[in-house]
Chains A and B, each alone.
Chain A
Amino acid sequence: MHRKEPTSRVVIKFVIAIIIAIYVLFPFALVVINSCKQTADITANPIGLNGVSIGQLMRNLSDVINNSNFLFWQAFGYSVLITILSLVLLALFGSMTAWVICRNKTKWATLIYFTFIASMIIPFQVVMLPLISTFRDVGKFIGIPMLQSVPGIVFAYLGFGGAMTVFILTGFIKGIPYDLEEAASIDGCRPEQVFFKVIFPLLTPVITTVTILNGMWIWNDYLLPSMMLGQNGKVKTLPVAVQAFVGSYVKQWNLILTAALLAIIPMVVLFLFAQKQIMEGMIEGAVKG
C-alpha cells in the first residue's frame, strides 16, 4: 500500500521537472533561433525573435555549407564513412577475438584478455604523440598513407576501441552455454562455422550495445582525428571541420551557430528514432565497463 502523494507535491515536482528541461534545452533553442538571424540582430538581442527569417537561415546555411574551411557534405560524408567502417569492423573482429578468448583456455588467451583490460585505463594523451610518428613510419614503409587517410584512422579506431569492445563481448559470450557449440560440432560444423552460424547471431543485443557506445565516441571524437587528419588535410570529420571553420571566423556568430546546428542535427535525428536503444546501450556500457 503506497501512501497517495498530495496533489500539490505532484504539481511542484512537475513544475521543477519542466524548469530543468527548459534550462537543459535552452542552448539548443538558442542555436536554432540564432541560425535564422544576421550577426547584427544576434548582438542586438540574442534571445528575442527579431530578425528571424527562413530566408536568412537559408543564406546562413548556404554560406556555411559551401565554405572552403567547412565543406559540410564532404566532412559529413567522411564522418559517416569512418564511423560505419570502424563500427562494422569493431563488431566483427571484436566478437571474433572475444570468442577465442572465451573458448581457448590457455595462458595466452588469459594474457591477451588482461592486457586488453589493463589498457583501458591508458588515456589517449599518453600514446597520441608516438602514435603519429609510428603511423607516419608504417605508412611510409608499406606505401599506404596512414595519416590523413580513411584506412589509417579506421585502423586506429580498431586499436583504441578494441579493448572495451572485447571486454563487453567476452562478458556476454561467457554466458552462452558451451553445449550449444558442442552440439553444432557433433553435427559436423567446423569451428569457424560454429562461430558464424551459431554464436554470432546470438550476439545481436550485445553488439547493439557495443555499436552504440563506440558510435557515440567515434562520431563525436575530436582529438584523435585532429591529430591524425590535421586541420588542413583533405579528409576531415565533422568535429574537426567545425573547429577549423570557427577558427577562421572569429565572432561571426550566425555562421558559427549554423555550423553547430548542422553538426547537431544528425545526432538528434538519430536519437529521435533510436532513443530507447541509445539510452539503454549507454547504461549497459557504463554498468559493465
Chain B
Amino acid sequence: MNEASGSKKMLSLICLIGGVVLLIWSLALDFMGTKAGYRGALLVIGIIGIIVGMYLLPTLKYHRTLIYVIFLFPLLFAFVVTVIIPLFLGLFYSFTNWNGIRYTEFVGLANYTRMFKQPSFLWSILLTTLFVVFNMILVNLVAFLLALLCTSKLKGMGFFRASYFLPNLIGGIVLGYIWQFIFSNVVTQIFKGMKYSMLADTKTAFIAIIIVYVWQYAGYIMLIYITGLNTVPGDVLEAANIDGANAMQTLFQIKIPMIAPTITICTFLTLTSAFKQFDVNLSLTNGTGSLMFMGEFLTNGTQMLALNIYNTAVVENEYAFGQAKAFLFFVILACVSIAQVRISNSKEVEL
C-alpha cells in the first residue's frame, strides 16, 4: 500500500516536472524565434503532463478541487480564447484604424460616427428591421396554422410533419442557390406574364428572401407550436366543448392563452435568427439591388446587416469600421431581444 502510493507520488512528480520543463522549453524556443515545428507538440505534451501530474498527486484533501479544475479547464480555455478575448479585442479595435493585422493609431469614436453618415449602412439597418418584423409575423402565423393542421386528427400526420420540417435540415448556402435557380428559371416559366426574375428588382427580391426564409423556418417553429398545443389538457377542451364553445372560441380563448410561453419562445427564436440572417442573403442575392435612398444611389438594395458587416470588413478590407458596425449590431440585437422577452413575460403574467 505504502509502496504503491510512493510510486504514484514519484510518477506524479515526474509528470509535473516533465510537463513544466517541456512547457518552458517550448516557450523559450518561441521567444528565441526558432521556427522549429516541434515546439507546438512540446507545448501540448507539456500541458498534458501537468494535467496528469495534477491528477495523480496523492492529496486526499485537495483531490476534489483538483478534479474540478481539470474538468473545467478544456471547455473554459476554448471559450475564453474564442469568445471572451476576441470580444474585448474587438471592442478595442473598433476605436482604432485596425486593418485586420495591426493598428497604428487610436481614432476614438470616428468609426462610430462615420457609419451613421453612410446611407448604405443605414439602409441595411432599415431593411433588416423590416425583414425581422415581416418574418416574425409571417413565420409565426404560418407555423401556427401548420401546427393547428398537424394537431387535428389527420391521416399521415407523421409524414406531413416530417416533410414540413425537412427544409430546416439544409444549410442556408445550398438553399439559397436552389431558390436562386427557382426564381430565375422556374418561376418565370410557370408565370408566363413575368418578364424578369423576381431577383432582378430590389422590392421583389426582398419578397423572395422572405419567401425562402418562411419556407425554411416555418416547419421548425411549427414543431415547437405542436409541442405547446399538445400540453393543453384534454379535459379543458372537453369542458369547453360541452359548454358549447365553437372552434374559434376554443382557439382564441383557450388554446392561444394557454400556449403563451410557447409563443414567447417562438417569437424570440424567429427574431434572433432573422436578425442574424446571413447565408441565404449571401447565396440568393448577395445583397445586390439598386435603389435611391437619402439622395444617394445605392447598389446594396437587399443587403442585411450581417452581410453588410462581412462585406465592409472582408471585401472592402475596412476591418476597424466593420468591427464598429458589428458592435452596433450586437447592441441592437441585445436590446431588442431583452425588450421582447420582457414584454412577452409581462403579457404572460396578465393572462
Binding site for B on A (CB under 8 A): 1-3, 5, 10, 13-14, 16-17, 20-21, 24-25, 27-28, 30-31, 34, 42-43, 45-47, 89, 93-94, 96-97, 99-100, 104, 112, 115-116, 119, 121-134, 138, 141-144, 155-156, 158-160, 162-163, 166, 190-192, 195, 216, 219-223, 227, 238-239, 242-243, 246, 253, 256-257, 260, 263-264, 267-268, 271, 275, 278-279, 282-283, 286-287
Decide yes or no: A158 and B161 within 8 Å by CB, A123-B333, A283-B224 being known contacts: no
Decide yes or no: A123 and B330 within 8 Å by CB, A27-B179, A31-B178, A143-B36 being known contacts: yes
Q: Does B294 contact A (CB under 8 A)?
A: no
Decide yes or no: A142 and B40 within 8 Å by CB, A160-B82, A263-B174 being known contacts: yes
For chain B, what secondary structure do more than half of its interface residues adopt (helix, strand, loop), or is it mixed?
helix
Q: Does B173 contact A (CB under 8 A)?
A: yes
Kindly list chain B residues whose C-beta atoms are within 8 Å of the C-beta of A264.
Answer: 170, 174
Decide yes or no: A222 and B173 within 8 Å by CB, A138-B81, A287-B224 being known contacts: yes
Query: What are some 14 contacts across the A-B interface (CB < 8 A)?
Result: A1-B242, A5-B153, A14-B154, A20-B149, A94-B75, A96-B74, A115-B84, A126-B326, A130-B323, A131-B82, A134-B89, A278-B169, A286-B224, A286-B269
Kindly list chain A residues whose C-beta atoms are within 8 Å of the C-beta of B170.
Answer: 220, 263-264, 267
- Pairwise interchain contact B223-A156, C-beta atoms closer than 8 A: no
Kindly list chain A residues whose C-beta atoms are within 8 Å of the C-beta of B89.
Answer: 130, 133-134
Give complex CA distance A133, B319 in Å. Answer: 11
| Nearest-Cβ distance from residue B237 to partner chain A, whole angstroms | 9
- Pairwise interchain contact A119-B86, C-beta atoms closer than 8 A: no
| Nearest-Cβ distance from residue A149 to partner chain B, whole angstroms | 11
Binding site for A on B (CB under 8 A): 26, 30, 35-41, 43-44, 55, 63-64, 67-68, 71-72, 74-76, 78-87, 89-90, 93, 100-101, 146, 149-150, 152-156, 159-175, 177-179, 181-182, 185-186, 189-190, 215, 219-220, 223-224, 227, 238, 241-242, 265, 269, 275-276, 278-279, 282-283, 306, 309-310, 313-314, 319, 322-323, 326-327, 329-330, 333-334, 337
The 8 Å CB contact of A17, one of B154, B175, B334, is: B154
| Nearest-Cβ distance from residue A286 to partner chain B, whole angstroms | 5
Give complex CA distance A123, B93 in Å. Answer: 17
- Pairwise interchain contact B174-A260, C-beta atoms closer than 8 A: yes
Decide yes or no: A130 and B189 within 8 Å by CB, A21-B160, A96-B72, A142-B40 being known contacts: no
- Pairwise interchain contact A125-B149, C-beta atoms closer than 8 A: no
- Pairwise interchain contact B90-A143, C-beta atoms closer than 8 A: no
Decide yes or no: A222 and B82 within 8 Å by CB, A25-B163, A97-B71, A191-B64 being known contacts: no
Nearest B-chain residue to A17, judged by Cβ:
B160
- Pairwise interchain contact B40-A125, C-beta atoms closer than 8 A: no
Give complex CA distance A20, B166 in Å. Answer: 13
| Nearest-Cβ distance from residue B40 to partner chain A, whole angstroms | 3
- Pairwise interchain contact A279-B223, C-beta atoms closer than 8 A: yes
A-B interface pairs (CB < 8 A), number: 273
The 8 Å CB contact of A162, one of B75, B165, B238, is: B75
Give complex CA distance A236, B4 in Å. Answer: 50
- Pairwise interchain contact B178-A134, C-beta atoms closer than 8 A: no
| Nearest-Cβ distance from residue B64 to partner chain A, whole angstroms | 5
Kindly list chain B residues whose C-beta atoms are within 8 Å of the C-beta of A1.
Answer: 238, 241-242
The 8 Å CB contact of A239, one of B43, B173, B323, is: B173
The 8 Å CB contact of B164, one of A14, A21, A227, A257, is: A21
Give complex CA distance A152, B138 in Å. Answer: 39
| Nearest-Cβ distance from residue B50 to partner chain A, whole angstroms | 15
Other contacts beyond A21-B159, A191-B68, A242-B177: 6, CB < 8 A: A24-B163, A125-B329, A133-B100, A192-B55, A242-B174, A279-B223
- Pairwise interchain contact B174-A46, C-beta atoms closer than 8 A: no
Decide yes or no: A127 and B90 within 8 Å by CB, A116-B79, A282-B220 being known contacts: yes
Give complex CA distance A168, B175 in Å. Answer: 29
Give complex CA distance A190, B332 in Å. Answer: 48
Give complex CA distance A283, B323 in Å. Answer: 34
Kindly list chain B residues whose C-beta atoms are within 8 Å of the C-beta of A242.
Answer: 173-174, 177
Nearest B-chain residue to A267, judged by Cβ:
B169
Kindly list chain A residues whose C-beta atoms are within 8 Å of the C-beta of B75.
Answer: 93-94, 96-97, 158, 162, 166
Kindly list chain B residues whose C-beta atoms are within 8 Å of the C-beta of A130.
Answer: 85-87, 89-90, 93, 323
- Pairwise interchain contact B279-A268, C-beta atoms closer than 8 A: no
Decide yes or no: A256 and B181 within 8 Å by CB, A159-B81, A223-B278 being known contacts: yes
| Nearest-Cβ distance from residue A136 to partner chain B, whole angstroms | 8
Kindly list chain B residues whose C-beta atoms are within 8 Å of the C-beta of A143.
Answer: 26, 30, 35-41, 43
Give complex CA distance A142, B40 in Å. Answer: 5
Kindly list chain A residues whose C-beta atoms are within 8 Å of the C-beta of B319.
Answer: 129
| Nearest-Cβ distance from residue A202 to partner chain B, whole angstroms | 17
Kindly list chain A residues whose C-beta atoms are within 8 Å of the C-beta of B153.
Answer: 5, 10
- Pairwise interchain contact A27-B178, C-beta atoms closer than 8 A: yes
